[in-house]
């Protein structure tokens, strides 16, 4: 990948946002795409992986206000829309962006470096020396985990396999073969930048010898090819607190991508998806359950044994209880870590038999004739009549 490719890359289109998108919109778009395209979600899908990399690269630039500004400026200058004097563009004058970055191909995968290269290239206000080696925080990473209803209620520890860029373990991030170390670049004296004059313009450019890193690796690490970062599969144990709800995010500080140049690591966000329970539902901290009852049980009253997440609870149903009535078993809901405890809400629903034997039928017909004088809709009809007058 040449720098020209890069400058002509449309990071905005990559994330599906407009060039005037807000930081929040960019973040949202990135999170959504990163979730869809994450290698863990698309094992063996090279296309998704390439897109994942491209999206991460785009986000790396657009999420950083300073880099985004420089990228926008670069696009204005080099993508044909610019009002720069003719001959300045690639190949026309002496300033060939392709040349400048010609050696970059070897490390095109190192997306972290690109922003800094561009930053060095266009920052003309001085004070840029050292920007290539400035500590930078690693990216946040978002991933998903699916747990069972009961695990969500009680809390769980979930082992998780995550593949993401991580500091190379073989060279500890130096990029040099173990036993060797990178040397300071003699071309730029370790600054990572050289100054170059082009007519009236003076540019600080990333040093072509060391690609802006200030260091040269003579004997690259076999594991990461000198990048210092390799894709690693880590196993993490994620502690999910009791009472977590479907769609909630858990933050694991420092478990995201590693920082560059001793910068701090980003955070890992785990979005929790909760499988529904065959019996129980949930409403905030309350558990819900629907229990079928017979008409005689409601009419005559009864004692019901109802399942809870832990054992059973016995409830008295008073005579004359309406169908659909909700009973409450205090404290049998979700106990959260912060001490809040919900209840179990029990909805009583009359189960109507769909086939009855002759004896049951006769008994019911008997009941119907004995109670024929009772009209359950009397009140409703009275109200209707009143209104239509
Ligand atoms: Zn390495
Ligand atoms: Zn150098």
Between CA 199 and CA 197 the distance in angstroms is 6
- Which tokens go with 201? 């313009």
DSSP H stretches of helix in the chain: 3-8, 11-15, 23-37, 46-62, 65-78, 97-100, 111-122, 149-154, 295-300, 358-370, 378-388
Q: Compute the distance from residue 196 Cα to the ligand 1 centre, in Å.
A: 32
Ligand nearest to the CA of 168: 1
98-117 pLDDT, tens per residue? 333 333 333 333 333 333 33
Residues with CB under 5 A from ligand 1 (ion): 168, 170-171, 221, 223-224
What count of other Cβ atoms lies within 10 Å of the Cβ of residue 102?
Answer: 12
Give 220 Cα–ligand 1 centroid separation in angstroms. 7
The separation between the first and the last C-alpha atoms of the chain, rounded to the nearest angstrom, is 82
Q: What is the mean pLDDT of the chain?
A: 79
Question: Across residues 22-29, what is the average pLDDT?
Answer: 88
| pLDDT score for 2 | 41
Model pLDDT, residue 61: 80
**pLDDT of the residue at 119:** 36
Is 344 within 8 Å of 333 (Cβ atoms)? yes
At 77, the pLDDT band (50, 70, 90 cuts) reads: low
Tell whether the model's pLDDT for residue 342 goes beyond 90.
yes
Tens of pLDDT, residue by residue over 201-220, are 777 778 888 888 888 899 99
228-258: per-residue pLDDT in tens?
888 778 788 889 989 898 999 999 998 888 7
DSSP code for 221: -
Q: How far is the CA of 107 from the centre of ligand 1 (A)?
A: 13
The secondary structure of 79-127 as a DSSP string is SS---PPTT-STTTSS--HHHHTGGGGGGTT-HHHHHHHHHHHH--SS-
How many Å lie between the centroid of ligand 2 and the Cα of residue 132? 10
As a whole number, mean pLDDT of residues 294-320 equals 94
Quote the pTM value.
0.49
Q: Which sign, positive or negative, has the C-alpha torsion 68, 47, 100, 258? A: positive
Specify whether the CB–CB gap between 131 and 193 falls below 8 A. yes
The fraction of the chain above a pLDDT of 90, given in percent, is 30
Residue 331 confidence (pLDDT) above 90: yes
Give the pLDDT confidence score for residue 128 in this predicted structure.
38
Which of 5-9, 159-163, 271-275 is the least confident region?
5-9
A 10 A CB-CB count for 349 gives: 13
Q: Are 70 and 19 in contact (CB under 8 A)?
A: no
Q: How confident is the model at residue 350 (pLDDT cuts 50, 70, 90)?
A: very high
pLDDT of residue 108: 36
Per-residue pLDDT averaged across 194-207, rounded? 77
H-helix or E-strand containing 303? Answer: strand 302-307
Q: Domains, the chain, ranges and CATH?
A: 139-172+221-276 (2.60.260.20), 281-361 (2.60.260.20)
Ligand showing the shortest atom-to-Cα distance for residue 230: 1
What per-residue confidence (pLDDT) applies to 42?
A: 78
**What's the confidence (pLDDT) of residue 136?**
81
């Amino acid at each position: 990948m040449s720098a020209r490719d890069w400058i002509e890359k449309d990071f905005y289109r990559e994330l599906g946002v407009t060039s005037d998108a807000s930081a929040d919109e960019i973040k949202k778009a990135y999170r959504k795409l990163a979730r869809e395209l994450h290698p863990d979600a698309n094992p063996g899908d090279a296309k998704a992986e390439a897109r994942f990399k491209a999206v991460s690269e785009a986000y790396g630039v657009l999420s950083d206000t300073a880099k985004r500004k420089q990228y926008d400026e670069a696009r204005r200058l080099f993508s044909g829309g610019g009002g720069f004097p003719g001959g300045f563009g690639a190949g026309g004058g002496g300033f060939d962006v392709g040349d400048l970055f010609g050696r970059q191909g070897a490390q095109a995968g190192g997306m972290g470096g690109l922003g800094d290269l561009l930053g060095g290239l266009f920052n003309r206000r001085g004070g840029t020396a050292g920007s290539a080696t400035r500590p930078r925080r690693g990216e946040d990473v978002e991933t998903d985990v699916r747990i069972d209803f009961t695990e969500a209620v009680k809390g769980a520890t979930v082992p998780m396999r995550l593949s993401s860029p991580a500091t190379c373990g073989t060279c500890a991030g130096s990029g040099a073969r173990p036993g060797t170390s990178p040397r300071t670049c003699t071309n730029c004296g370790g600054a990572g930048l050289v100054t170059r004059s082009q007519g009236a313009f003076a540019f600080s450019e990333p040093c072509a010898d060391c690609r802006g890193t200030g260091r040269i690796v003579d004997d690259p690490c076999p594991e990461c090819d000198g990048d210092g970062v390799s894709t690693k599969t880590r196993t993490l144990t994620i502690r999910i607190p009791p009472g977590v709800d479907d769609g909630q995010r858990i933050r694991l500080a420092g478990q995201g991508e590693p920082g560059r140049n001793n910068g701090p690591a980003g955070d890992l966000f785990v979005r929790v998806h909760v499988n529904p329970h065959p019996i129980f539902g949930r409403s905030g901290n309350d558990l819900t359950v629907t229990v079928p009852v017979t008409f005689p049980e409601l009419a005559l009253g009864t004692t019901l044994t109802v399942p809870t997440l832990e054992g059973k609870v016995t409830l008295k149903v008073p005579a004359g209880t309406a169908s659909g009535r909700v009973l409450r078993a205090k404290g049998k809901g979700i106990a959260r870590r912060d001490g809040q405890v919900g209840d179990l809400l029990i909805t009583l629903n009359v189960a109507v038999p769909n086939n009855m034997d002759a004896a049951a039928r006769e008994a019911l017909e008997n009941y119907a004739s004995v109670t024929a004088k009772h009209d359950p809709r009397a009140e409703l009809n009275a109200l209707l009549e009143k209104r239509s007058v």
